[in-house]
């Protein structure tokens, strides 16, 4: 099968099937073989791996994955792409294409069915309109994962790996870093895609921690505190916590928890590390 990472081969398939790109599905297909190679290398795909690809498009990356992995499961929402994938992936018996919405797919069940419940690798050029729900959905649902190597909007990659006190630091940085270690693989310009996206892109690898870097008595509370503190970013953390619709602590309880966690009264959420959020959340539980 002709390498779809070559622009002329992608154009040929698009024309053969008279495929019309859909903006609502975030369709920007990769047309750069170097970027494809970088993604495969960064994900360290071996012939032992079961890989989940989210949004295979016309199968460009799927073909590369199939050549390196044991098994590839590809979930694609756009019905118009299914016959194209049957064509482009026909020569790869280790690929299963599933027509469906990844946000409604039981990925844990797929890992059981295709990898005996063992950790899988996720590799994808993600549809940018749902990057965060896809990634957080995989983590929150405790899908057995080794790593995610994904193309995302450049700004989102920056937020995922941001450190406390920087402008990009926020709830996404903390959530991602609670579950995984981020590593920026490469920045990718718009001309590597067809059609070109309006934003810059980046490949980021998130390697799942075997143990969370902090121990918390109540994980749900940790994430409620994180959300509350970035909801009103410029305000004092104590106000954010007090005003949060998700929390019902009194001002006294908040100050007591601050004391136990060793936080100053006038602290802002954007300066707190994951360790400090964990200490605060444990302080509320102990209180």
Instruction: Point out which span in 25-33, 83-91, 137-145, 167-175 binds ligand SAM (CB under 6 A).
Output: 25-33
Which whole-number Å values give the CA distances from 164 to 69, 216, 238, 262, in the listed order? Answer: 37, 19, 17, 17
The Cα angle at residue 182 between residues 181 and 187, in degrees rounded to 5: 165
Sole binder of ligand SAM in the list 45, 56, 88, 230 (CB under 6 A): 56
Give the H or E element holding residue 182.
Answer: strand 180-188
Secondary structure, 3-state, 44-97? CCCCCCEEEEECCCCCHHHHHHHHHCCEEEEEECCHHHHHHHHHHCCCCCCEEE
The reply to whether 76 sits near ligand SAM by the rule CB under 6 A is: yes
Tokens of 37: 């190679």
Chain positions 112 to 141 lying near ligand SAM, rule: CB under 6 A, are 125, 127, 130
Judged by beta carbon, residue 109 or residue 286, the one nearer ligand SAM is 109
Q: Are 3 and 9 in contact (CB under 8 A)?
A: yes
Instruction: Point out which span in 96-104, 141-149, 219-227, 258-266 binds ligand SAM (CB under 6 A).
Output: 96-104
# chain residues binding ligand SAM, by CB under 6 A? 23
The reply to whether 63 sits near ligand SAM by the rule CB under 6 A is: no
The reply to whether 150 sits near ligand SAM by the rule CB under 6 A is: no
Sole binder of ligand SAM in the list 25, 92, 139, 242 (CB under 6 A): 25
For residue 22, how many other CB atoms are within 10 A of its CB? Answer: 13
The reply to whether 78 sits near ligand SAM by the rule CB under 6 A is: yes
Q: Which one-letter DSSP state was computed for residue 148?
A: E
The reply to whether 71 sits near ligand SAM by the rule CB under 6 A is: no
Q: Are 233 and 270 in contact (CB under 8 A)?
A: yes
The reply to whether 77 sits near ligand SAM by the rule CB under 6 A is: yes
Judged by beta carbon, residue 19 or residue 277, the one nearer ligand SAM is 19
Sole binder of ligand SAM in the list 11, 82, 103, 217 (CB under 6 A): 103
Judged by beta carbon, residue 56 or residue 170, the one nearer ligand SAM is 56
Judged by beta carbon, residue 127 or residue 170, the one nearer ligand SAM is 127
Q: Are 153 and 125 in contact (CB under 8 A)?
A: no
* Distance separating alpha carbons of residues 254 and 252, to the nearest angstrom: 5
Judged by beta carbon, residue 49 or residue 78, the one nearer ligand SAM is 78
Question: Minimum Å distance from CB 97 to ligand SAM?
Answer: 11
Please state the φ and ψ torsions of residue 214, each to the nearest 5 degrees.
-130, 150
Contact residues toward ligand SAM (CB under 6 A) are 25-30, 54-57, 60-61, 75-78, 81, 101-103, 125, 127, 130
């Amino acid at each position: 099968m002709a390498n779809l990472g070559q622009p002329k081969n992608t154009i040929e398939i698009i024309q053969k099937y008279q495929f019309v790109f859909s903006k609502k599905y975030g369709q920007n297909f990769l047309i750069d073989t170097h970027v494809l190679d970088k993604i495969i290398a960064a994900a360290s795909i071996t012939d032992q791996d079961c890989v989940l690809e989210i949004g295979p498009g016309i199968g460009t990356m799927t073909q590369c994955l199939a050549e390196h992995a044991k098994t590839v499961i590809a979930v694609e929402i756009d019905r118009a792409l299914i016959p194209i994938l049957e064509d482009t992936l026909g020569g790869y018996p280790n690929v299963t294409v599933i027509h469906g919405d990844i946000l409604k797919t039981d990925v844990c069940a797929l890992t059981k069915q295709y990898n005996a419940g063992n950790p899988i690798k996720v590799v994808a050029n993600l549809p940018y309109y749902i990057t965060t729900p896809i990634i957080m959905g995989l983590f929150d649902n405790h899908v057995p994962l080794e790593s995610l190597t994904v193309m995302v909007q450049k700004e989102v990659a920056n937020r995922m790996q941001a450190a406390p006190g920087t402008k990009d630091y926020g709830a996404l940085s903390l959530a991602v870093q609670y579950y995984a270690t981020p590593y920026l693989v490469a920045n990718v310009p718009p001309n590597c895609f067809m059609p070109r996206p309006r934003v810059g892109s980046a490949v980021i690898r998130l390697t799942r921690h075997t143990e969370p870097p902090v121990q918390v008595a109540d994980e749900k509370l940790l994430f409620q505190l994180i959300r509350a503190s970035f909801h009103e970013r410029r305000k004092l953390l104590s106000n954010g916590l007090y005003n949060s619709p998700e929390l019902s602590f009194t001002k006294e309880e908040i100050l007591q928890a601050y004391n136990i966690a060793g936080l100053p009264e006038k602290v802002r959420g954007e300066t707190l590390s994951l360790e400090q959020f964990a200490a605060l959340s444990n302080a509320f539980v102990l209180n």
